[in-house]
Amino acid sequence: MKHDRILGSISCIRPTIVMIQKSLLTIILFITLYSHATAQVRTIELPDHIFLSAPQFVANEKHFGILDPSQKKFFLFDYESASLISKLDATDSFPGFKWNPIRAEFLENEVFFTNSMPWGVYISYDNKVTHVAGRHFKATGAYDFLNDSLYVGFYTERFEDPALKGVDRDGNIVIEFEEVPIRFPNLAYRSEERNHVLFLDDTIYLMTAFDNWLHTFSTDGHLLKSSELKIDGFRSPTRDKRRIEPGNMQAMMHEFIQVTRDRSSVAGFYALNSKEILIVSHAGYESNDKFVIISKFNVDTGNVDSKWTSRSTQPAFAQNDKVYFMDIESEPVIVRIVPMAEYWESLD
């Protein structure tokens, strides 16, 4: 009987041991998965001597950079090591040169800067001015490069119809584009910095400031498609801004505010990968303290997935299925790189 009791006790213990083993396995698996996910998030502390004011962030596969227009400097970093490579500053390039960088764009071995007269400046990674755009070149707030010497910009001129133009480094026309069917041309003209051009997978995409319509062009200038994107909660204006005679600034501002009040605008437009575009929209109105709309647009299916968030979780940049954030209030300045899948899940 004693032998039977011992066997019975062992048989009771075995399920308990198995349960403990399963629980331990679950905990180990959770820790492993959590550690793997956390390891995918990079937190980079910039050098202590770098202080920023209203910076702009850009990145490619090998580098990331930060332009601070107030300092007239571009800080160039190695992507893998996060080490500072150089500070691009064309102030003393040659006599009479006016260096007032407004926006930066990575090229193969250079950085292109939208500048305030001359309007285009190319600087190598080792801080040598390689080209200054000719007098025919005119910069715009919405552009992308098809290659290092082919600039496609969306131009909104006061007495001309809005148009896409493909130009070389000196502003000579290379590509003539078909007419862009813009719903709100006057708003686009007054909101140039919120218009967006993107080159992705041999296709050119255009979205204007206060509109959820996407216009798609081929690289030879043909309009392929114009379609409305179903961005959750995006409110377009009900009409375009009326033209106001130059000089009457008060009337112009009043009209702009009247048209755009409680209306949404496109704040960011990034190539997330070869098949998806990340669209960041400002709702223009609050909904449960969330007023930024993060959307993924699939270029093949045309599907749009959207989630709402607060401005504090709005990315500064996106590429290669990653989103980038900057905290310029911290000391030192912090850059965070987060996988898009993890960021998307966090928005639930």
Cis peptide before 332 (omega within 30 of 0): yes
Query: How far apart (Å, rounded) are the C-alpha atoms in residues 289 and 7?
Result: 63
pLDDT tens for the chain, 348 residues: list them: 444 444 444 444 344 433 333 333 333 333 333 333 444 899 999 999 999 998 999 999 999 999 999 999 999 999 999 999 999 999 988 777 889 999 999 999 999 999 988 899 999 999 999 999 998 999 999 999 999 999 999 999 877 889 999 999 999 999 999 999 999 999 999 898 899 999 999 999 999 999 999 999 999 999 999 999 999 999 999 999 998 877 888 998 999 999 999 999 999 999 999 999 999 999 998 766 679 999 999 999 999 999 999 988 999 999 999 999 999 999 999 999 999 999 999 997
User: What's the whole-model pTM score?
Assistant: 0.86
Q: Which two tokens stand for residue 19?
A: 């349960």
One-letter amino acid at 135 equals: R
Report how far apart, in Å, the C-alpha atoms of 140 and of each of 84, 143, 229, 317 are.
29, 7, 24, 20
Is-contact 261 215, C-beta < 8 A? no
